[in-house]
């Protein structure tokens, strides 16, 4: 694969999440740095940057809320913007049509949340035949509590996501590796 048939998919990097009680600036800071490095790196390589924003009936995810916009700390000039209402960015958004029309065969996935929309989009993309690089360090999640009471840390969740995606649905890469793999 080359830069000509590759696209960066930036999923749900939006202010809606900052409004949720799970938001933690200290957890978000490294993500913001990594996702910005990835966005900047692919832009320098003339790789399309596809921005996905999530909308639904939750107050902070409704378009009218004013929070369905790029996270303030992130600078992005997307090639194209899609809105989604499902976990997978490939369902009912128009994304897959756009990718096919532009000859895209490889996706670089990043965004919010690691184990939800990013993982779901990755699985779906793989099933559709795309080669996927999953950039875990450029995804964001927060600690989660299981019904048993056990709390899973960000590291636990990211490790589990890598475990289930690696070699089956995606290649797990760092920002640096993702950018090296797109050299023209």
pLDDT tens digits for 80-103?
A: 999 999 999 999 999 999 999 999
The C-alpha angle with vertex 88 and arms to 81 and 117, in degrees rounded to 5, equals 90
Query: Can you give the pLDDT at residue 158?
Result: 98
Expressed as residue numbers, the domain containing 110 is 3-180
11: which DSSP letter? E
End-to-end CA distance of the chain: 10
When pLDDT is averaged across residues 135-150 and rounded to a whole number, the result is 97
What is the domain-level CATH number for residue 168? Answer: 3.40.50.850
When pLDDT is averaged across residues 17-21 and rounded to a whole number, the result is 96
pLDDT tens digits for 27-47?
A: 999 999 999 999 999 999 999
Report the mean per-residue pLDDT for the chain: 96
Query: Can you give the pLDDT at residue 153?
Result: 97
Token pair recorded at residue 30: 């490294």
Query: Can you give the pLDDT at residue 154?
Result: 97
Query: Can you give the pLDDT at residue 57?
Result: 92
Cis ω for the linkage preceding 113 (within 30 of 0): yes
DSSP letters for 43-69: HHTT--EEEEEE--SSGGGSGGGS-SS
**pTM (global) more than 0.75:** yes
Map tokens 């194209």 to a residue: 80
Choice between 184 and 14, residue whose per-residue pLDDT is larger: 14
Q: How many domains does the chain have?
A: 1
Query: Can you give the pLDDT at residue 182?
Result: 80
When pLDDT is averaged across residues 113-128 and rounded to a whole number, the result is 98
Query: Can you give the pLDDT at residue 4?
Result: 85
């Amino acid at each position: 694969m080359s830069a000509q048939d590759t696209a960066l998919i930036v999923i749900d990097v939006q202010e809606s999440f900052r409004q949720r009680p799970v938001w933690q600036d200290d957890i978000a800071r490294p993500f913001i740095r990594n996702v910005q490095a990835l966005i900047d790196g692919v832009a320098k390589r003339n790789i399309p940057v596809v921005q996905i924003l999530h909308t639904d009936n939750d107050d902070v995810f409704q378009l009218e809320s004013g929070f369905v916009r790029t996270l303030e700390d992130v600078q992005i000039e997307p090639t194209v913007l899609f809105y989604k209402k499902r976990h997978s960015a490939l369902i009912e958004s128009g994304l897959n049509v756009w990718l096919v029309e532009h000859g895209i065969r490889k996706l670089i996935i990043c965004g919010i949340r690691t184990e939800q929309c990013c993982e779901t989009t990755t699985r779906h993309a793989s099933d559709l035949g795309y080669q996927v690089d999953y950039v875990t360090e450029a995804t964001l999640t927060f600690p989660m509590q299981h019904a048993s009471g056990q709390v899973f840390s960000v590291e636990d969740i990211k490790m589990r996501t890598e475990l289930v995606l690696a070699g089956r649905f995606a290649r797990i890469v760092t920002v640096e590796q993702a950018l090296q793999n797109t050299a023209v």
